[in-house]
Structures are given as structure tokens and as C-alpha cells.
Amino acid sequence: ETGVTQSPTHLIKTRGQQVTLRCSSQSGHNTVSWYQQALGQGPQFIFQYYREEENGRGNFPPRFSGLQFPNYSSELNVNALELDDSALYLCASSLGAGPLNGYTFGSGTRLTVV
Amino acid sequence: KQEVTQIPAALSVPEGENLVLNCSFTDSAIYNLQWFRQDPGKGLTSLLLIQSSQREQTSGRLNASLDKSSGRSTLYIAASQPGDSATYLCAVLSYNTDKLIFGTGTRLQVFP
């Protein structure tokens, strides 16, 4: 059984640019959630996708958007990057919203905005 | 609004000690609580998942307990080793939110 894989592992972007981060969910999982983790903080929920539709959103502006594909993989897109968007972005997959089996996280994408 | 707190924020101990990490949450209406380990700059590794109906879970030298009514969980690490050095995060999955709420973590250093 494969785990959650994220790409790229590291990324440097300039303020104002756009970025796309990718996530492949664990085999058998149909739900993907994205989290942002600033240095020294716990992860913060961005949004969740289930059956290709957004199924819950945290306190993030609309320039954070996402997609889920039929194979349950997902993308996180961030437009008009700001310096404060620099963080570790984590993808987690689960079967449903996770009540029974919990969440499996990927290794993350470290985004630096300069 | 669910809030999760972890105490202590940092801990440094000699190898071989038994440790207790604490996690508290304000709303007891949870599906489950999950403990994670995070190495510097890395993703999260799930350690233990406790459903709301359970009192504890064990995996090797790790034991996690859950007292839902008082809003507390503890992670017990027996016979600590330098390889246990990492940040430990707890997270709860609350009813009607479909999202994990994390604490800020306990940064553990075990020295030889």
C-alpha cells in the first residue's frame, strides 16, 4: 500500500506569483485535506476535498483554491503569493472524513516566498 | 470553538527516562484524537489513534490515554531514546467540522 506523496518537496517563489502543489492520496483513500504549517506552529486546516468537491474550508482567502481528480489525487493552488504564505504545506488523505481510520499525512512541500 | 493545548512546549531529558506529554481540548464532542510525530522540516507520522469510545491505545513503547469528559489526553513514552527526539503533535477531530484541530506541539530532545 502506497502512502501519501507530495510534490515538489521544496519551492521558492516570488511575491505575486502563483504556485501549484500536488498530492497523491494513499491507496484506498477518497478524501484529501490540505494544511498549512507555519514555523513553530501546529498545522492549520485549509480545505478538504471529497469526490472532487470542496467539503469544508478553513479561514483562508479565496486565492487558496484546490482540485481533486477522479483518481483522488489533488492540487492546491495559491494565487498572488504573499510573504506570509511561506510555510510547510501538508496533504492528508483519509477514507471519508476520517472518523474511523484517522488521517495519513505526506512529507509536505516547503514553500518559500521572497 | 475547539482549542487544543499541549504542555510542555519543550522538554529535554536524558536517555532512559519515562515521559508524559499532555494534550487538552476544550470541546469534548470529538470523534477521535490522534498523536503524530514530526521530525524537523518533515511531514507528520501517525503514532496512535484513539476513538472517542476508547480509553487508551498502545504501540510498542508508546501509550496514549484519552479522558474525553475532562478534555485530556496523555502520551506516555517508556525508556526514551535519542531517536525519539522530535516534535509531538496531538489533534482532535470534532463533530460537524471534518477537520483536525492541532495543538502547537511538544518539542522533545532526548540526549545520550
pLDDT in tens, B23-73: 999 999 999 999 999 999 899 999 999 999 999 999 999 999 999 999 999
Distance CA A40, CA B106 (A): 10
**What pLDDT, on a 0 to 100 scale, did the predictor assign at position A54?**
92
**What pLDDT, on a 0 to 100 scale, did the predictor assign at position A98?**
66
Distance CA B85, CA B91 (A): 19
Q: Which residue has the cell 513503547?
A: B61
Three cell numbers written together for B109: 530532545
Instruction: Compute CA distances B112 → A74, B39, B89, whole Å.
Output: 42, 18, 23
Contact predicate A75/A20, CB 8 Å: yes
Residues, chain A: 114
Contact predicate B90/B33, CB 8 Å: yes
**What pLDDT, on a 0 to 100 scale, did the predictor assign at position B95?**
86
**What pLDDT, on a 0 to 100 scale, did the predictor assign at position B96?**
75
DSSP one-letter string for B28-42:
--EEEEEEEEE-TT-
With a cut of 70, say whether residue A40 has pLDDT above it: yes
Whether the CB of A5 is below 8 Å from some CB of chain B: the reply is no
Q: How far does A98 lie from chain B, in Å, by closest CA?
A: 8
**What pLDDT, on a 0 to 100 scale, did the predictor assign at position A81?**
98
Q: Would strands B44-51 and A109-113 be described as parallel, antiparallel, or unpaired? A: unpaired
Question: What confidence tier does A100 reach under pLDDT thresholds 50, 70, 90?
Answer: confident
Burial of A1 (0-12, 13-18, 19+ CB in 10 A): exposed
Q: Which residue has the cell 505526506?
A: A106
Q: Which of A10, A28, A5 is nearest to A101 (CA)?
A: A28
Candidates A41, A102, A106; nearest CB to B43:
A106
Whether the CB of B22 is below 8 Å from some CB of chain A: the reply is no
State pLDDT tens for residues A7-29.
999 999 999 999 999 999 998 88
Whether the CB of B104 is below 8 Å from some CB of chain A: the reply is yes
List CB contacts of B96: < 8 A, sequence separation 6 or more.
none
Partner-chain contact A43 B102, CB within 8 Å = yes
β-bridge mates for residue B1, sequence order: none
With a cut of 70, say whether residue B10 has pLDDT above it: yes
